């Protein structure tokens, strides 16, 4: 069992550093030790594994990962929390702290994180800040095949989009990208009461495992195509692609030009993207 921090311990740590949760950064601390332990267990990490953690907060999950013998690269945007966690784990050789945003721009991982990971295979294990979840996971899926799995706590609506099927309201770019690059399963639902301060939304834990043989030859191209076409998800494909200057050199069989992008499976969308010019 992970020796997670209690609410009183988290409050005590923050008070000692003159800190309080920042709503602007989506700081909601997971205070249920059973759920922290479940995330570590379900991540499948073991001694020696290289783990990326984004948004370590006061270090509850960090401590659990280090207890398992993992090498942890943690990235914290908040200066105050970065100072707190740096002090907590100052004597841990297996811990590296990156101060700043996990992303450099919208579609690149922070270069300091890339340097710290050193091109090795790694896992993402994190209670992700809500605003960072989708862009970070998109970047890892498209640009970092060395990220072999992700076990994360995220907003339920984001989890719904990751798992969405064609024709559903939640189906979109990241649903397609996940469908072509990974296997996904829900680990569990997390009520608001398990966080402090209590958020307005329900959260979910999910795990993604990268496919050994992806269903796309170019995940970055696929993501770019999806961002463009899902902006016109209610339009017929023929007219939509023509307006975007992306008409296929040869229209794929079994895909109707009168259908809509939201009705196609991830594999069909990959097939269409591979046929299009101007992507």
Q: Are residues 87 and 152 in the same domain?
A: yes
Domain that holds residue 237: 219-275
In a domain, 1, yes or no: no
Is there a contact between 64 and 45 (Cβ–Cβ < 8 Å)? Answer: no
| Residue 3: predicted pLDDT | 57
pLDDT band at residue 277 using 50, 70 and 90 as cut-offs: low
In a domain, 248, yes or no: yes
Q: Are residues 153 and 232 in the same domain?
A: no
pLDDT band at residue 250 using 50, 70 and 90 as cut-offs: confident
Q: How many CB atoms lie within 10 A of CB 48?
A: 10
Q: Are residues 50 and 184 in the same domain?
A: yes
CA–CA dist 27, 32 (Å, integer) = 15
Last residue of a domain, one of 189, 210, 231: 210
Q: Are residues 31 and 100 in the same domain?
A: yes
Calculate mean pLDDT across residues 226-230.
96
Q: Are residues 165 and 235 in the same domain?
A: no
In a domain, 230, yes or no: yes
Q: Are residues 231 and 198 in the same domain?
A: no
Q: Are residues 96 and 226 in the same domain?
A: no
CA–CA dist 153, 205 (Å, integer) = 4
In a domain, 99, yes or no: yes
Q: Are residues 192 and 230 in the same domain?
A: no
Last residue of a domain, one of 210, 243, 264: 210
Calculate mean pLDDT across residues 248-276.
93
pLDDT one-digit tens code per residue, 3-42? 568 899 999 999 999 999 998 888 899 999 899 999 999 9
In a domain, 2, yes or no: no
Q: Are residues 167 and 224 in the same domain?
A: no
* Residues ≥6 apart with Cβ < 8 Å to 47: 68, 69, 70
Q: Are residues 149 and 262 in the same domain?
A: no
pLDDT one-digit tens code per residue, 62-113? 999 999 999 999 999 999 999 999 999 999 999 999 999 999 988 899 999 9
Q: Are residues 199 and 249 in the same domain?
A: no
| Residue 279: predicted pLDDT | 62
Calculate mean pLDDT across residues 170-198.
96
| Residue 1: predicted pLDDT | 46
CA–CA dist 201, 151 (Å, integer) = 19
Give the CATH number for residue 125. 3.40.50.150
**Is residue 2 over pLDDT 60?**
no
Last residue of a domain, one of 180, 210, 240: 210
Calculate mean pLDDT across residues 217-227.
95
Calculate mean pLDDT across residues 214-234.
95
Give the CATH number for residue 269. 1.10.8
In a domain, 201, yes or no: yes
Calculate mean pLDDT across residues 151-164.
97
Q: Are residues 243 and 124 in the same domain?
A: no
Q: Rounded to two decimals, what is the model's pTM?
A: 0.95
Calculate mean pLDDT across residues 44-63.
97
In a domain, 76, yes or no: yes
The structural domain count of the chain equals 2
Strands (E), 109-192: 122-127, 147-155, 182-190
Mean of pLDDT over the chain: 94
């Amino acid at each position: 069992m992970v020796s997670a921090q209690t609410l009183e311990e988290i409050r005590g740590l923050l008070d000692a550093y003159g800190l309080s949760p920042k709503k602007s950064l989506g700081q909601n601390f997971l205070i249920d030790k059973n759920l922290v332990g479940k995330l570590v267990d379900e991540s499948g990490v073991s001694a020696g594994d290289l783990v990326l953690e984004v948004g370590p907060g006061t270090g509850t999950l960090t401590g659990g990962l280090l207890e398992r013998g993992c090498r942890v690269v943690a990235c914290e945007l908040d200066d105050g929390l970065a100072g707190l966690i740096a002090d907590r784990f100052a004597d841990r050789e297996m811990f590296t702290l990156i101060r700043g945003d996990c992303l450099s721009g919208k579609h690149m991982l922070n270069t300091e994180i890339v340097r710290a990971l050193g091109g090795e295979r790694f896992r993402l294990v994190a209670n992700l800040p809500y605003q960072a979840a989708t862009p970070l996971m998109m970047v890892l899926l498209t640009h970092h095949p060395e990220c072999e799995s992700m076990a994360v706590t995220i907003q339920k609506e984001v989890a719904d989009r990751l798992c969405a099927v064609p024709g559903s309201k939640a189906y979109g770019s990241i649903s397609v990208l996940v469908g072509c690059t990974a296997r996904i399963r829900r680990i569990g639902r997390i009520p608001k009461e398990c966080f402090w301060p209590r958020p307005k939304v329900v959260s979910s834990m999910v795990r993604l495992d990268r496919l050994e043989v992806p269903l796309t030859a170019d995940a970055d191209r696929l993501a770019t195509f999806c961002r463009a076409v899902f902006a016109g998800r209610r339009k017929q494909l023929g007219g939509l692609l023509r307006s975007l200057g992306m008409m296929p050199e040869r229209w794929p069989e079994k895909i109707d030009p009168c259908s809509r992008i939201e009705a196609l499976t991830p594999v069909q969308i990959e097939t269409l993207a591979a046929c299009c010019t101007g992507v």
